[in-house]
Amino acid sequence: RTQVSAIPDQQVAAKANTVAERIKNFPQQSHLDTSVAVLAPINKDKDDSIATAGARRGCPEFPPSIVRAVRRAVAAPLEQLVQDKTIVSAEMIASVLPQMLSAAVGECIEDPTARRLYAQLASAFARRRSLLLLNMEKQVRVEELPWARPLLSLIKRDDTKQCVAVVKEAVRCFLAHYPETVTPN
């Protein structure tokens, strides 16, 4: 019988590897519906021996840094993310709003492959650098890109209720939880 002796850093790395192995069981190109399965107690029969050795010695199952990372991967309504302290500021609401809006617009596309492609396009376009232009010129808009037009034509334009609901939810959460903060741009 061999005894595993590991320093805390090795235990944290082993626990992170355990979480990574558990996440592999979820479908790719998707989100976690819940963190319960991923953060379940370490099983000495299934999980890494270093991770189980740390759990036996009374170390917490997973360190807070790993728990926070897993919780950030969970898809949940904005209100729940704010209450769970996954989103902790008005600026964070503003940073996730484009992703929420692109998901709402993507729901208007019937084809799942085209929906994923739209989500990637919207995400990439939202990350682009902003420029200060002269003479009231404007930056290129996504609908002006020739390769985006066929994809955008799949969106049902009359289905904007979801987008309005997303914006209303974001504004309500912002005002309810961060009324003292200046509204982010």
Which residues lie below 8 Å from residue 146, measured CB to CB, with a gap of 6+? none
Confidence band for 174, pLDDT divided at 50, 70 and 90 = very high
Q: What is the mean pLDDT of residues 145-153?
A: 88
* Residue 135 pLDDT: 76
Q: Is the pLDDT of residue 171 over 90?
A: yes
* Residue 81 pLDDT: 87
pLDDT digits (tens, 9 = 90+) for 30-88: 667 777 778 888 776 665 554 544 444 444 578 888 888 888 878 888 898 898 888 88
What torsion, rounded to 10 degrees, do the Cα atoms 61, 62, 68, 69 define?
-130
Q: Is the pLDDT of residue 126 over 70?
A: yes
* Residue 50 pLDDT: 47
* Residue 5 pLDDT: 46
H and E: helices and strands count for the chain: 8, 0
State pTM to two decimals.
Answer: 0.67
